[in-house]
A and B are shown apart, each in its own frame.
Chain A
Amino acid sequence: MTTAVNTASIGIERSPGLWSLAWKRLLRDKIAIVSMVIVATFLLLALASAVGLVAGGWNSEIAKNYAPPTWFKGSAAQEDLSKSNKSAASGPSLDTGLSRPEFVNDRDPLRETITELKQQLGQSTSSGADEIKIVDPLADVIVELKKKLGRTGDGDANEVEAEKLSSLAFGADKWGRSVFDKVVQGSETSITVGFAAALVATLIGTLLGALAGYYGGKTDDFLNWFYSIFNSIPYILLVLAIAAVLNKKGILTVVLILGLTGWASIFRVVRAEYMKHKARDYVRAANAIGASHTRRMFVHIFPNISHVILVQLSLYVVIFIKSEVILSYLGFGVGVDTVSWGSMLNEAQNELILGYWWQLGAATLFMAILVTAFSLFTDSLRDALDPKLK
């Protein structure tokens, strides 16, 4: 409030509000502190990666193909390194316009799917890059990728290989890129997408939910109708349908897809909270002293339900990080010029059959640590903000 008296001048210590009490409770919770430290580390890592301090050179091939993690060096995996290099060189074929290079391995569990897919794709889009260009916005990227692959695959590869590292902290991928750098880049993507999409969804859901819950009547009927449309289509189906329509990749697209489809759950929560609170005596009292609707909605009710919104926001971050991984895995997520844990898992799936588990391990580990920490933090946050729930 604008007219709040400057308490310091009177020399009386302002007593703690509900937020600072919640913060104190949070600091008493050991799990909360540990998870906050982990999340903060990830945030810093993502920030450092975004400004190029860390993992800026993830795309450069600094090590041998499938170089193992340093501490794993010398074990059985080492010996078939050279063998697989050859298959890696000859294996990938991009004729079908698939953005995802595949091994055609006899033991590949997805062999059938892939051949089937290829055939089907062959039907709708024929081979030949010129035609693809018309329909495929990624054609340019693919051509570039092809060049790169050509370079690793050409005859002089062995000479180049000699200069490269034979092991890395977290190992290397098919092209000898550092898995660690990739996984850090993946954290950046996940965190960006998770937080941005959560913000979009929370903003939309909160605003609509507040209007519906506070005003009720026709406003509520209309917004509830709008909500029921989104609620009746299973979330993942809607996401995939929009991905199909947009047919465009990139972080912004993913953020919009997730944010614009995901607002329904917070809408329901915020609407219910506003309905509950508008009938509370303190809001009636605000009405009695002549506070306007806007003032009641945002000055009175909003601070009292903001903890619910905060918890929902935090739940969204987890859901959206997980969704982004799936979208990117399927190839509907971020583009090929961005690393995502999802696209790493996609590559890792084929590497696993060959015994190169480190990309899978690294992506899984990083994701599990971040998401676990964030979930535990959300739980602690909920307990701290609403001690009655315990």
Chain B
Amino acid sequence: MTTPLLSVKNLRVSFRIDRSNTFDALKGVSFDVMPNQTVALVGESGSGKSVTSLAVLGLLPKENAKVSSDSRIDFDGKNLLALSRQQIRELRGDKISMIFQEPMSSLNPVFTVGYQIKEVLKEHKNLTGAAADKRAVELLKEVGIPSAEERVNYFPHQMSGGQQQRVMIAMAIACEPKLLIADEPTTALDVTIQKQILDLIAEIQKKHGMSVLFITHDLAVVGDIADRVVVMRNGEIKEQGTTKEVFSAPKDDYTKALLSCRPAVDSRPKRLPVIEDFMAGRAEAMRREQRARGVSDADPVVLEVKGLCKDFYSREGLFGKKTFHAAKDVSFKLRKGKTLGLVGESGSGKTTVGLTVMRLHDATKGEAWFDGKNIFAMTEKEFLPYKKRIQIVFQNPYASLNPRFTVGQILMEPMIIHGIGKGGEDRSKMAFELLSKVGLPEMSFYKYPHEFSGGQRQRIAIARCLTMKPDILICDESVSALDVSVQAQVLNLLQDLQDEFGLSYIFISHDLAVVKYMSDEVMVMSNGEVVEHENSDVLYAAPKHDYTKKLLDSIPKGLGAM
């Protein structure tokens, strides 16, 4: 048996919060990375996966992070925790290198990408001048940057997100490291780009025979590239094994839940099983009960949008004005009790459509027929009674609730504005009912948003919409910022509410699997245009448009068989 390249033993890290309190981020983590092997560290937010990677590189904030004295991180025969700062610095970027989640902010904005690559070469290989220039171009070519000779002089902001991440990779492999740590390298990228970057990392790993420690929250991503999987939760390792073992026969309930609470493209259970369901042993049954989705012309239409256009303007030149067409001639019918999914990559115009439909943006052109009237043609005042009937749940649960209001105030404000309920007592009673409907304790009424987690806040936001008994609910990336297990809970809630109240949803997301799970029909958008609009089962089974095909191909398949 070969010796591991990296061996983490009983790693304990705690952070000092203030004088008297500490937070244990890692509670004894041990795992190995063999040479020429890809190990995935999987966990949700707060699991300690990123802390682990920073500890390996010695990049933990020295002011308040404390590594326990009996912890060991052995790399290539040396205990990294025992090295001097000088010694570990020499290893960084040379033998161990790292890429990060946000390529844009991880590159220094004021230096060219060539300069930043050459900096590593100079530091570790003492390579300067023409030789370094040549090597930088070679590296950019290797990571698949077209016309590298020219782009080596680009500043980071002149490149796309995918190219920036390629530059980060080029920088990381510049000195032929033995270990590459990739910390959520694709999370900030669009799904098609994510696929390219994952392929690139896998290719480079093979070519250079290096080891990769791949950190992610998304189990599905792992299946394609990892040899081994380490599942973490709350600073502890829940399960580890070969990817195949973990995917096909997970032992831990948490791993099981993680694997199955993320909607898959090929199955649509009535409700998504979450951790509690696994612990209660009812998950298997839940998985079998499937839900049918789809629309027919017989379904009544609640909203009909015709030829919606939205332009944004920016100033250009001396007197010029530049027009950006965010949405071009979008038309659709939303049917009662059904969900219309809107998918597309960033900049496709899907959010613009959502916001324009409910007049948070003014439409440049087009009509929206609701209840026999064109709501785009109404004045602000005429629209007010209709406003409450079309509601929205935003993406970021931390930004969409006013932090100065209690939950009670948040829920009762729309009732006051629209004159729902008779007086304060009646309204607070309704608010209590809604809280229990969205699965929050009554106590929540008196609390402020900052006391809740992301998932709970999203429930509050949903309850706020329900106060007005809307006909249409627009979910703008409403679950995208949530951890998968929480995401499943919120999706289940949305399903339940649709069943109970017959709500019509416009479900906007970049996540194709989630959209497939939630939607009766799906509209695919690209550059402001609708490229395909079809019943969801039909669209996912037989996409017609090339762009749709490309999108569907990019979905991480897990182990495929799953």
Chain A positions near chain B (C-beta within 8 angstroms): 1-5, 7, 12-18, 280-282, 284-291, 295, 300, 303-304
Residue of A281, A289, A303 near B414 (CB, 8 A) is A289
A29 to chain B, nearest CB (A): 11
Asked whether B412 lies within 8 Å of A3 as measured between CB atoms, the reply is yes
A59 to chain B, nearest CB (A): 49
Q: Measured between alpha carbons, how far is A288 from B386 in the docked complex, in Å? A: 10
Give chain A residues whose Cβ lies under 8 Å from the Cβ of B448: 15-18
Residue of B387, B401, B424, B428 near A288 (CB, 8 A) is B387
B480 to chain A, nearest CB (A): 13
A19 to chain B, nearest CB (A): 8
Give chain B residues whose Cβ lies under 8 Å from the Cβ of A287: 360
| Chain B 377-396 interface residues, beta-carbon cutoff 8 Å to A | 384, 387-388, 391-392, 394-396
Asked whether A285 lies within 8 Å of B412 as measured between CB atoms, the reply is no
Q: Which of A284, A295, A300, A304 has the most CB of B within 10 A?
A: A284
A25 to chain B, nearest CB (A): 10
Asked whether A289 lies within 8 Å of B399 as measured between CB atoms, the reply is no
Q: Measured between alpha carbons, how far is A101 from B399 in the docked complex, in Å? A: 62
Give chain B residues whose Cβ lies under 8 Å from the Cβ of A16: 448
Q: Which of B399, B402, B409 has the most CB of A within 10 A?
A: B402
Residue of A3, A12, A291, A303 near B446 (CB, 8 A) is A12
| Chain B 344-365 interface residues, beta-carbon cutoff 8 Å to A | 355, 358, 360
By beta carbon, the residue of chain A nearest B443 is A12
Q: Measured between alpha carbons, how far is A116 from B137 in the docked complex, in Å? A: 72
Q: Pick out which of these stretches binds chain A: B83-91, B139-147, B415-423.
A: B415-423
Residue of B392, B402, B414, B418 near A300 (CB, 8 A) is B402
Give chain B residues whose Cβ lies under 8 Å from the Cβ of A5: 408, 424-425, 428, 445
Q: Measured between alpha carbons, how far is A2 from B409 in the docked complex, in Å? A: 10
Asked whether B414 lies within 8 Å of A304 as measured between CB atoms, the reply is no
Asked whether A3 lies within 8 Å of B424 as measured between CB atoms, the reply is yes
Residue of B360, B405, B417, B451 near A15 (CB, 8 A) is B451
B417 to chain A, nearest CB (A): 5
Asked whether A289 lies within 8 Å of B394 as measured between CB atoms, the reply is no
Judged by a CB distance under 8 angstroms, whether B461 is at the interface is yes
By beta carbon, the residue of chain B nearest A306 is B404
Give chain A residues whose Cβ lies under 8 Å from the Cβ of B387: 288-290
Asked whether B358 lies within 8 Å of A288 as measured between CB atoms, the reply is yes
Judged by a CB distance under 8 angstroms, whether B516 is at the interface is no
Give chain B residues whose Cβ lies under 8 Å from the Cβ of A303: 402, 404
Residue of A12, A284, A304 near B403 (CB, 8 A) is A304
Asked whether B446 lies within 8 Å of A288 as measured between CB atoms, the reply is no
Give chain B residues whose Cβ lies under 8 Å from the Cβ of A4: 406, 408-409, 412, 424
28 sample A-B contacts, Cβ–Cβ < 8 Å, listed by A number: A1-B412, A1-B413, A2-B424, A4-B406, A4-B424, A5-B428, A12-B443, A15-B447, A17-B406, A18-B404, A281-B396, A282-B400, A284-B360, A284-B400, A285-B392, A285-B461, A288-B360, A289-B414, A289-B417, A289-B468, A290-B384, A290-B387, A290-B417, A290-B418, A295-B417, A300-B402, A303-B404, A304-B403
A13 to chain B, nearest CB (A): 8
Judged by a CB distance under 8 angstroms, whether B450 is at the interface is yes
Give chain B residues whose Cβ lies under 8 Å from the Cβ of A284: 355, 360, 392, 394, 400
Judged by a CB distance under 8 angstroms, whether B310 is at the interface is no
- A284-B355, A289-B391 given; 12 more Cβ-contact pairs under 8 Å: A2-B416, A4-B409, A5-B425, A14-B406, A15-B447, A17-B448, A18-B403, A18-B450, A281-B395, A285-B400, A288-B358, A289-B468
Given contacts A15-B446, A18-B404, A290-B387, contact A281 B394 (CB under 8 A): yes
Q: Measured between alpha carbons, how far is A7 from B406 in the docked complex, in Å? A: 12
Q: Measured between alpha carbons, how far is A282 from B394 in the docked complex, in Å? A: 9
By beta carbon, the residue of chain B nearest A20 is B448
Judged by a CB distance under 8 angstroms, whether B427 is at the interface is yes
Q: Measured between alpha carbons, how far is A15 from B451 in the docked complex, in Å? A: 9
Q: Measured between alpha carbons, how far is A376 from B276 in the docked complex, in Å? A: 51
Chain B contact-residue range equals: 35 or more
Asked whether B413 lies within 8 Å of A289 as measured between CB atoms, the reply is yes
Given contacts A5-B428, A14-B446, contact A280 B413 (CB under 8 A): no
| Chain B 436-468 interface residues, beta-carbon cutoff 8 Å to A | 443, 445-448, 450-451, 461, 464, 468
Asked whether A304 lies within 8 Å of B404 as measured between CB atoms, the reply is yes
A20 to chain B, nearest CB (A): 10
| Chain B 456-507 interface residues, beta-carbon cutoff 8 Å to A | 461, 464, 468
Give chain B residues whose Cβ lies under 8 Å from the Cβ of A288: 358, 360, 387, 391-392
Give chain A residues whose Cβ lies under 8 Å from the Cβ of B355: 284
Chain B positions near chain A (C-beta within 8 angstroms): 355, 358, 360, 384, 387-388, 391-392, 394-396, 399-406, 408-409, 412-414, 416-418, 423-425, 427-428, 443, 445-448, 450-451, 461, 464, 468
B421 to chain A, nearest CB (A): 9
By beta carbon, the residue of chain A nearest B396 is A281
Q: Measured between alpha carbons, how far is A300 from B394 in the docked complex, in Å? A: 17
Asked whether A285 lies within 8 Å of B409 as measured between CB atoms, the reply is no
Residue of B408, B413, B427 near A291 (CB, 8 A) is B413
Q: Measured between alpha carbons, how far is A13 from B388 in the docked complex, in Å? A: 32
Give chain A residues whose Cβ lies under 8 Å from the Cβ of B428: 3, 5
Give chain A residues whose Cβ lies under 8 Å from the Cβ of B402: 282, 286, 300, 303-304
A1 to chain B, nearest CB (A): 5
Residue of B406, B446, B464 near A289 (CB, 8 A) is B464
By beta carbon, the residue of chain B nearest A293 is B380
Asked whether A3 lies within 8 Å of B360 as measured between CB atoms, the reply is no
By beta carbon, the residue of chain B nearest A16 is B448
B383 to chain A, nearest CB (A): 9
Q: Which of A13, A282, A286 has the most CB of B within 10 A?
A: A282
Asked whether B450 lies within 8 Å of A282 as measured between CB atoms, the reply is no
B463 to chain A, nearest CB (A): 12
Given contacts A17-B448, A282-B399, A288-B387, contact A1 B416 (CB under 8 A): yes
Q: Measured between alpha carbons, how far is A286 from B388 in the docked complex, in Å? A: 11
Asked whether A285 lies within 8 Å of B464 as measured between CB atoms, the reply is yes
By beta carbon, the residue of chain A nearest B358 is A288
Give chain A residues whose Cβ lies under 8 Å from the Cβ of B450: 18
Given contacts A1-B413, A3-B424, A4-B424, contact A290 B394 (CB under 8 A): no
10 closest residue pairs by CB, A with B? A3-B424, A281-B400, A289-B414, A303-B404, A281-B394, A281-B399, A290-B387, A282-B402, A15-B447, A5-B428
Give chain A residues whose Cβ lies under 8 Å from the Cβ of B468: 289
Q: Measured between alpha carbons, how far is A15 from B387 in the docked complex, in Å? A: 32
Asked whether B417 lies within 8 Å of A291 as measured between CB atoms, the reply is yes
Asked whether A3 lies within 8 Å of B400 as measured between CB atoms, the reply is no
Asked whether B394 lies within 8 Å of A285 as measured between CB atoms, the reply is yes
Q: Measured between alpha carbons, how far is A300 from B399 in the docked complex, in Å? A: 13
B466 to chain A, nearest CB (A): 12
B354 to chain A, nearest CB (A): 11
Give chain A residues whose Cβ lies under 8 Å from the Cβ of B451: 15
By beta carbon, the residue of chain A nearest B388 is A290
By beta carbon, the residue of chain B nearest A289 is B414
Q: Measured between alpha carbons, how far is A5 from B424 in the docked complex, in Å? A: 7
Q: Measured between alpha carbons, how far is A174 from B451 in the docked complex, in Å? A: 63
Give chain A residues whose Cβ lies under 8 Å from the Cβ of B425: 5
Give chain A residues whose Cβ lies under 8 Å from the Cβ of B423: 3
Q: Measured between alpha carbons, how far is A300 from B401 in the docked complex, in Å? A: 10
Give chain B residues whose Cβ lies under 8 Å from the Cβ of A17: 404, 406, 448
Q: Measured between alpha carbons, how far is A286 from B418 in the docked complex, in Å? A: 12
Give chain B residues whose Cβ lies under 8 Å from the Cβ of A3: 412, 416, 423-424, 427-428
Q: Measured between alpha carbons, how far is A289 from B384 in the docked complex, in Å? A: 9
Given contacts A17-B448, A18-B404, contact A280 B399 (CB under 8 A): yes
Give chain A residues whose Cβ lies under 8 Å from the Cβ of B414: 289-290
A302 to chain B, nearest CB (A): 9
Q: Measured between alpha carbons, how far is A304 from B416 in the docked complex, in Å? A: 21
Asked whether A282 lies within 8 Å of B401 as measured between CB atoms, the reply is yes
By beta carbon, the residue of chain B nearest A25 is B18
Give chain B residues whose Cβ lies under 8 Å from the Cβ of A286: 402, 413
Q: Measured between alpha carbons, how far is A295 from B412 in the docked complex, in Å? A: 15
By beta carbon, the residue of chain B nearest A300 is B402
By beta carbon, the residue of chain A nearest B412 is A3
